[in-house]
Amino acid sequence: PKPENAITIAVSSRALFRMEEEQKIYNEQGVEAYVKYQLDHENEPFLPGAAFPFVKALEAVNTQLRQLYPDSEELFDIVLMTNNHAQVGVRLINSINHYGLFIERFCMTGGNSPICYLKAYHTNLYLSSDAEKVSGAIEEGIAAATIFSPSKDLEVSEDQLRVAFDGDAVLFSDESEQIVKAHGLDMFFEHEKAHENKPLAQGPLKGFLEALGKLQKKFYSKGLRMECP
């Protein structure tokens, strides 16, 4: 069960770890060759993927929150989502243990849509490398984002959580963006002027931003504004 007041982050296995080679085998040789490859390499940890530093940063925040509030469950709760076969789960578990990640909950969808599972977990944010699944989650009212693998290695902090939000279609609705696309900038400026006193509707990640703000205030209340991770 979800810890009370926890902020649940669901991360796909292909976002957390680099699995391009394995996916290539699956696409070109089929499921049997894919499973065999995974079993033959089950003691070889996956390389960190694009979402790995983000998950490490979440865990760094949890470590500090546990020190400040030992009895509180208002933490980040990370769930690993995968459509892999159960046999592949061994390699995923071994990889998580290898890197010392604190992920206690796994969800194996068996190739089914993750939507019902995300709802069951009361997910606050879903991260996946599959843009189609992310779009499906957003359509169902679940905050979600597509994780892209960078073309080159980037130095990203694993000790400090850094999150940047776009405004249009992310924190707020895509109403203005749709007007630009459909009618151009002139109509956009007219629309903005006519509705300047009307707040934009909330976007898919507004709820997640508010959840981050709640945790941030827990550091502020301890006088740790400058030390907030």
Spatial distance between the Cα atoms of 120 and 142, rounded to a whole number of angstroms? 11
* Residue 2 backbone dihedrals phi, psi, to 5 degrees: -70, 130
Residue 161's pLDDT is 84
Which domains can be identified in the chain, with CATH numbers?
Answer: 7-165 (3.40.50)
pTM of the full predicted structure?
0.83
Active site residue 77: no
The residue type of 98 is H
Distances 199 to 60, 143, 193, 208 between C-alpha atoms, Å: 35, 20, 12, 19
Exposed, middle or buried by CB within 10 Å (0-12, 13-18, 19+), for 153?
Answer: exposed
At 55-75, the pLDDT tens digits run 999 999 999 988 888 888 888
**Token code pair at residue 61:** 């925040």
Residue 3's pLDDT is 64
Flag residues of the chain having pLDDT under 50. Answer: none
Is 77:2 a contact under the CB 8 Å cutoff?
yes
At 129-149, the pLDDT tens digits run 999 999 999 989 899 999 988
Of the residues 166, 168, 174, 186, only one is catalytic, namely 166
The residue type of 112 is N
Residue 175's pLDDT is 73
Residue 136's pLDDT is 92
